[in-house]
Amino acid sequence: MAEKQSYLRKNFKSIVFKALKATVKGAIFYVAYFFLWSMVLAPFAELFPWLELSVETFMAIYITLMIIAEFTAGTVYQYFFSAGRALFVIGYLILTLQGGLVGLTFENVSLLVDLRLFLMMAMLFSLLGLAKSVLQAINYMNEKAETAHMGSLNVKP
């Protein structure tokens, strides 16, 4: 009974810690977004009316995936969500930036911003993040298998 209570307490503590960590991470990301938006992106919102909604949607999904990944920390699902987050960033950037060529027509003036180089670099970094998540998942499974194997041999790791 005492053992069960201790397990529950430990579990509760772990959940609270994860929630706290996720909240702090989410808050840091949101504050960074807030500053980036108000200092840099806000003037462009007049030119690109879809920008605000688009960036907010991105932040909402990104932070949600980050929080889920934090809650599933210690399981293999954490890496699935991390990989999903990297894939989401790639897909989102390709779709939002229209393949890197962002066009806008204002009255009789058409504006074309070529963000292909930026998109390419962002995709490379996202792929690096994806590779990291895959490696982490492999490493996690490897360590788990190793622990199980040691356990079956009754050897303390």
Partner 1 sequence: MNVPIRMIGLATTFFWIFLIAFVASVGYSAKDLQFGFGELQTSVTSDNDLFFSLPINIANRGYYNIGLFNVITEVSDADGLMIARGDTLMPIIRKGESVTILHNMTLDIDEVLSTHMDYLFNDNELNITESVSLRVADFIPIQASTNFSVPWGAPLYDFAIGNPAYSVINMTHFRVAVPLSFENHALFDIAGNVQINMYNSAHVRAGEGQTVIAAVQHSSFSDIVEFYMRVADVTPSGSFEVYLQTPLFNYGPMVIPYG
CB of 48 to partner 1, least distance (A): 11
Residue 84 interacting with partner 1 (CB under 8 A): no
**Shortest distance (Å) from residue 41 CB to partner 1:** 7
Instruction: Kindly tell me which of 142 and 147 has the beta carbon lying closer to partner 1.
Output: 142
**E strands of the chain, at which residues?**
101-106, 109-114
Residue 62 contacts residue 87 (beta carbons within 8 Å): no
Q: Is 44 in the site for partner 1 (CB under 8 A)?
A: yes
From the list 6, 38, 98, 142, which residue makes contact with partner 1 (rule: CB under 8 A)?
A: 142
State phi, psi for 144 to the nearest 5 degrees.
Answer: -65, -45
Whether 73 and 20 have beta carbons less than 8 Å apart is answered as no
Q: Is 136 in the site for partner 1 (CB under 8 A)?
A: yes
- What is the x/- site pattern for partner 1, positions 99-118, by CB under 8 A? ---------xxxxxxxx-xx
Q: For residues 31 and 45, is the Cβ–Cβ distance under 8 A?
A: no
